[in-house]
């Protein structure tokens, strides 16, 4: 990790119960840490999977009157045409790619790694998966959007992840990242990767949060795309 991440604490990790042959890297939302999601993932864990929940660096966030808080990149506004922190998003994606490389060095091939995240973390996981040269097993994108969507070419992406499996989830009562953002994002994703591999689930009454039903869908997705190898 480089730059402003030097002071970030080590990720919250749920180790595999036996030898780790797969990993899930999961990115929390704005103002949060990796601890809450590591606990949630511990509740659905599989014995051969390692779960890594890094903590975002603390930085001033324009949206919150420049208050400093854990954030993967700056957020300037929450409307579809808000200005975006392009340099920050690209740097954050490089930091996530470095985390993936670290797991590859640890002996887990990138195609046995699922990248996921919630809200701002979900946005970063989508952007990273669509721009990395590392072949991934899948992406879990919760209550989020695709950042820098205008920077992607029209039509399918080239590269190693054009067949990637995507599970996108959203609550239909989300007041922060409206369901419309999720619906627009899934349409864009289906134009970029094989639409047959994109699943969009919505949860009735769910706000900007998670629920048991969603966690079960995530578990099913992880179990399907990261099966045991031994």
- Residue 119 among the catalytic residues: yes
Residue with tokens 């990261």: 226
Walk across the sheet containing 22-27 and list its strands.
12-14, 49-53, 22-27, 113-118, 138-142, 165-171, 198-203
Residue with tokens 């200005």: 83
Q: Token pair for residue 36?
A: 């809450």
3-state secondary structure of 223: helix
CA separation for the pair 41, 44 (Å, rounded): 5
Residue among 71, 110, 119, 210 flagged as catalytic? 119
The distance of Cα 221 from the centroid of its chain, to the nearest Å, equals 14
- Residue 151 among the catalytic residues: no
Extract the runs of DSSP E, i.e. beta strands, from the chain.
Answer: 12-14, 22-27, 49-53, 58-61, 67-70, 113-118, 138-142, 165-171, 198-203
Residue 163 CA: distances (Å) to CA of 115, 150, 159, 190: 15, 21, 9, 11
Residue among 35, 62, 208, 209 flagged as catalytic? 208
CA separation for the pair 48, 103 (Å, rounded): 14
Q: How is the chain split among helix, strand and coil, in percent rounded to 5?
A: 35, 20, 45
- Residue 208 among the catalytic residues: yes
Residue among 32, 74, 85, 174 flagged as catalytic? 174
Residues marked as catalytic? 119, 174, 208
């Amino acid at each position: 990790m480089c730059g402003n991440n030097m002071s970030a604490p080590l990720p919250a990790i749920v180790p595999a119960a036996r030898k780790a042959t797969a990993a899930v890297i999961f990115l929390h939302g704005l103002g949060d840490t990796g601890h809450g999601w590591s606990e949630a993932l511990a509740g659905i864990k599989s014995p051969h999977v390692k779960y890594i929940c890094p903590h975002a660096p603390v930085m001033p966030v324009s949206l919150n009157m420049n208050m400093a808080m854990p954030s993967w990149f700056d957020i300037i506004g929450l409307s579809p045409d808000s200005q975006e922190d392009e340099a920050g998003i690209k740097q954050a994606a490089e930091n996530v790619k470095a985390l993936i490389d670290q797991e590859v060095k640890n002996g887990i091939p990138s195609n046995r790694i699922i990248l996921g995240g919630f809200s701002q973390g979900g946005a970063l996981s989508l952007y990273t998966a669509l721009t990395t040269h590392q072949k991934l097993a899948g992406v879990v994108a919760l209550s989020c959007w695709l950042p820098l969507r205008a920077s992607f070419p029209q039509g399918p992406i080239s590269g190693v992840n054009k067949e990637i499996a995507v599970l996108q989830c959203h609550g239909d009562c989300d007041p922060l990242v409206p369901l419309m953002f999720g619906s627009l994002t899934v349409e864009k994703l289906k134009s970029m990767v094989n639409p047959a591999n994109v699943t969009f689930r919505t949860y009735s009454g769910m706000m900007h949060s998670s629920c048991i039903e969603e966690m079960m869908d995530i578990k099913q997705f992880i179990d399907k795309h990261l099966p045991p190898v031994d």
